[in-house]
Amino acid sequence: MTENFPYLVKEIDLQVQEAQRTPNKMNPKRTTPRHIIIKMPRAKDKERILKAARERNSVTYKGIPIRLSADFSIETLQARREWQEIFKVMNAKNLQPRLLYPAKLSFRIEGQIKSFTDKEKLKEFITTKPVLYEMLKGIL
């Protein structure tokens, strides 16, 4: 961080909460650079760093160009939180729910996988499935 954003490090008092290297999803045995996931204590700091990175255009680590991505922005986290109550109910009923990136609910019903990006589309769908309607009528 001091290499790329010395003024932000002085302002923010940046302390990385957690950092871990994750293998390449396509081929874990491949010797390519790995992703580094950094969890920061405050979302505002993350947004400021990502904004500064966009303005700078190139960010380096030990002189090698790297790419920063806003994996879970504040908006994405909020959208994912909105699905949590529905997710818990479906999980209790063994519908195998999944939250896909960025904020898409997917679950298995009658042997098919259904995906929804917003609650309105889910409401329309459950009106055709009485079992789902009864399960989720208090939540939606």
Position 76 scores a pLDDT of 78
Task: Note whether residue 78 is domain-resident.
Answer: yes
Position 72 scores a pLDDT of 60
pLDDT, averaged across the chain: 78
Looking at the structure, do residues 78 and 95 belong to the same domain, yes or no?
yes
Residue with tokens 């789902």: 132
pLDDT, tens digit (0-9, with 9 covering 90-100), for 37-92? 566 666 677 777 777 777 877 777 777 777 766 566 677 778 888 999 999 999 99
Looking at the structure, do residues 57 and 16 belong to the same domain, yes or no?
yes
Structural domains counted in the chain: 2
Looking at the structure, do residues 33 and 61 belong to the same domain, yes or no?
yes
Position 116 scores a pLDDT of 94
Enclosing domain of residue 108: 74-136
pLDDT at residue 13 is higher than 80: no
The percent of residues above 90 in pLDDT, for the chain, comes to 31
Cα angle for residues 42, 48, 49 (degrees, 5° grid): 95
Position 38 scores a pLDDT of 64
Go through 95-131 and write b for each residue having 16 or more CB atoms within 10 A of its CB, e for each that does not. Answer: bebeeeeebebebebeeeebebeeeeebeeebeeeee
Looking at the structure, do residues 15 and 58 belong to the same domain, yes or no?
yes
Cα gap 117→123, rounded to integer Å: 11
